[in-house]
Chains A and B, each alone.
Chain A
């Protein structure tokens, strides 16, 4: 299923297919690719078919939503009522939530059809989807390589054509990096634009729900459905949702794109740099002006992120104690034994590493030196962006320094893995929206261009990405050829 949401919506309205048919097609594609990709953790055939039947009825009644009847997958971090939600962790292997996340509720409300739950790094901690209790997901472009992470299952499912879009979450790059690695478009909205209610927490001040799809236009449709204020999330933004699809067509004449020199440092592979520069040339052709800018605190983003995110995670994941739900150690000898074995056995290595780092960073005597200092760096980074946005409308750079790396290549070196996030984490620290869009190839693998916008300027991002996609066909390339 490599058609766009708009194409599918039209086909459905013309009765050339049905939601039930599209859903069955998606099951077939998911099953056919499962052994190769391992993109999905759960396929919900019964639930999806029921939803598809409801969608067909809604379509017959003239449902106005572009998403009605179109199959998709949720990252397995969004709670789904009655359907297990694992966060790719042994801890939640059999956890069945009694409620729907707001994002789940909103997509169901427009008759979108979720066919299942996508694989991910455990509790969204990772950049390769290798940290999954259910095994690594593979990159559809090269099964020896990672799809990126943590939303790797979502990215692979879209890139492989199983579904036209997938939900994802982005705490330090977890939507944009896998989108870049898999040659698709990934949108991380402004912090607070999409409700976090029902989205299992990794690092609350950074976690952000979003979408991975083939194109910016498709992202616009999905964002319109999932964005909005939610009284169940105190950090949710109480402001009007823009008409994202309605502003896609705006010409880019006069757009000022900041090119941050820090995003083209020594770590950026030559092929990646070349593809991104070529993409920027394309923007000039579209009428945009390139402005060289500097984000002086950029290098501090990784260390700050890897203090703040683990600190919050160490507290957020304290609830997995074997007392009320989730994995519990068998035959505990004492309360302490229950706690230690439940958490030792239930969490994977990377999750434990971050809990330890975060616990340390918050400990008496270290709090000021680590957590508070990281928060000050966070402010500097946000100030960098504010200053830059006084003279430019968007900021551009490579989403990742390299193309998709090999499975196993970085698993033994956490710091090398963390360096993957060098261009993405600052955006989360500042709470800004950003998009990664396909911008060419290097070594035969997709390269992602990242555009960053001021808070709540998703329309500008989607507009700029869409205009690029009208002029190029990178986003139409699939592992199976050009669409």
Chain B
């Protein structure tokens, strides 16, 4: 497929220089077991408890590929319209490090499982860019070296060793730190949407290396790049790239040459600095892993993954706008992650035709409450079915939209279902015209001066009377009915 590179937008140029960025994103595939062993991938266990014979590289042990990881890689590949290799090849990347038990990492080098995809990325200003993804390949993670707790020594935890990663490599077609971060967010949304990665950045499930270069704005040849390793937050990626672009421009303007090297980002100083020379001087001696035959993917395998594929975020966004009539901003926000979109749809299913109402509540009350409680929507204290009941009561006129917010707050703190809260607190709307008329008569009797004013032509006082009746009925008056009845009585008919 064509991956014709985008033309850099003019505003991405900085005083005559054009930054060019490519990202390598490592997404940990959410499988139960490791890429080549049956050991668990669960995070946070005691060191070296999720390690089998293969993970500690005992002599004689052999890797056996985990098909679940392959299926997730295929799922991602299909979602970005990529080619899925009928045979991809595992290769060994050889280097010595204590947390790399075999002395090599099993990765894919010349023949990755996923190649040549694209991802549409929506920028903050609403523009959409098509980012070419060169490849996505399977590889195993290394263990961890623990330097803090061991005086004069290093601890090794191999729980993470062998965890499956999908390394997603974009082409160098991102032209600003903002574009790079928007792309990274879009990949983050997509992998979580597809259920291939939990996206947890604190636990390192989603991290990024950024390749950054700059060139004279008029040039179309890439400049020498540096690689910023292992950045694990969106903000840091943006800061690191911004810093690196500035540093390179400054260096080039001073007539210096950019050295191709690996750099680390220091989040406290917001700077990048080179890794030690030795770590840069690796010759990884890649070669096909003789323990692993080429990984075969048949048309049937692909069809099976396709059949289980969820509707993709962009397709859903378009459907929300076109079929449900939602404003673009609502559709975009709802589709920011699959759990939110699913929540919205579950609410809507109980309230056919009320897309806007369901969207308003999902993005409004629910989202705000989740934010305050630092919860994700899957853990919402008011599940979609409960919210649906609440909104049904609003639609039926049992309570007003305003009262519904109080009911929601009560539901959030565990007071019960919508019906229970309405019942317990006696919040049922007064739609009985007799009771309403009595309340209105009492108010009019209480404020004769205002009544005279109104009848004298000061129609603004309508709101005053509405407020008084609402006060008297503790907000339970049916607003439409109140309005109609009040107008009648004010006119003195």
Contacts and interface: CB of A to CB of B under 8 A. Distances in A.
Contacts of A324: 56-57, 101, 156
B61 interface: yes
A323 B156 contact: yes
A311 B287 contact: yes
Interface stretch (A94-102, A182-190, A276-284): A94-102
A235 interface: yes
10 contacts: A79-B58, A79-B60, A196-B62, A197-B62, A203-B290, A235-B291, A321-B96, A321-B98, A324-B56, A325-B59
B102 interface: yes
Interface string B97-130: 0100111100000000000000000000000000
Nearest to B36: A234
B104 A318 contact: yes
B195 interface: no
Contacts of A335: 98, 154
Contact of A319 (B59, B286, B290): B59
Nearest to B93: A315
A114 to B, nearest CB: 16
Residue from the set A314, A321, A326, A339 with the largest chain B CB neighbour count within 10 Å:
A321
A359 B285 contact: yes
A98 B54 CA distance: 12
A204 B291 contact: yes
Given A231-B64, A235-B291, A362-B287, A315 B92 contact: yes
Contact of B293 (A199, A234, A314, A325): A234
B292 interface: yes
A234 B291 contact: yes
A321 B100 CA distance: 10
B290 A312 contact: yes
Contact of B59 (A79, A311, A323): A79
Contacts of B154: 335
Pairs A-B, 7 closest by C-beta atoms: A318-B103, A205-B290, A362-B285, A204-B290, A198-B60, A79-B60, A200-B59
Contact of A234 (B58, B60, B63, B287): B63
A121 to B, nearest CB: 16
Interface in A172-226: 196-201, 203-205
B86 interface: no
Interface stretch (A141-149, A363-371, A380-388): A363-371
A12 B104 CA distance: 49
Contact of A97 (B57, B60, B102, B286): B60
A169 to B, nearest CB: 11
A92 B283 contact: no
Interface of A: 78-79, 85, 87, 92, 95, 97-99, 101, 196-201, 203-205, 231-235, 311-312, 314-315, 317-319, 321, 323-326, 335, 339, 359, 362-364, 367, 371
A79 B156 CA distance: 25
Nearest to A358: B285
B287 A371 contact: yes
Nearest to A92: B59
A231 B156 CA distance: 29
Nearest to A198: B60
A376 to B, nearest CB: 14
Contacts of A323: 98, 101, 156
Contacts of A204: 289-291
Contact of B62 (A232, A326, A367): A232
Residue from the set B96, B283, B293 with the largest chain A CB neighbour count within 10 Å:
B96
B285 A363 contact: yes
Residue from the set A79, A232, A339, A371 with the largest chain B CB neighbour count within 10 Å:
A232
Contacts of B62: 196-197, 232-235
A78 B60 CA distance: 8
A270 to B, nearest CB: 39
Contacts of B94: 314-315, 318, 362
A311 B102 CA distance: 15
A98 B283 CA distance: 34
A85 B64 CA distance: 23
B107 to A, nearest CB: 13
Given A204-B291, A235-B292, A312-B290, 19 more contacts: A85-B60, A98-B53, A201-B60, A201-B291, A204-B290, A231-B64, A233-B64, A234-B293, A314-B94, A315-B92, A315-B103, A315-B287, A319-B57, A319-B103, A321-B103, A323-B98, A324-B56, A325-B56, A335-B98
B65 interface: yes
Given A315-B103, A318-B94, A318-B103, A197 B287 contact: no
B156 A363 contact: no
A37 B342 CA distance: 75
A318 B63 contact: no
Nearest to B98: A323
A50 to B, nearest CB: 23
B144 to A, nearest CB: 14
Contacts of A318: 94, 96, 102-104
A129 B391 CA distance: 83
B283 A364 contact: yes
Given A312-B290, A325-B58, A319 B63 contact: no
A97 B57 CA distance: 12
Contacts of A359: 285
A412 B268 CA distance: 59
Contacts of B293: 234-235
A195 to B, nearest CB: 9
B58 A97 contact: yes
Given A234-B65, A315-B94, A324-B101, A199 B60 contact: yes
B335 to A, nearest CB: 40
Contacts of A326: 59
Contacts of B56: 324-325
Interface in B274-289: 283, 285-287, 289
A19 B397 CA distance: 90
A314 B103 CA distance: 10
Nearest to A362: B285
B53 A99 contact: yes
Contacts of B102: 318-319
Contacts of A314: 94, 285
Interface string B278-312: 00000101110111110000000000000000000
A78 to B, nearest CB: 8
Contacts of B92: 315
A197 B96 contact: no
A367 B59 CA distance: 26
Contacts of B59: 79, 85, 87, 92, 95, 97, 200-201, 319, 325-326
A91 to B, nearest CB: 9
B65 to A, nearest CB: 7
Contacts of A201: 59-60, 291
A204 B283 CA distance: 22
Nearest to A100: B60
Given A235-B293, A324-B57, A367 B287 contact: yes
A201 B289 CA distance: 13
Contacts of B96: 318, 321, 339
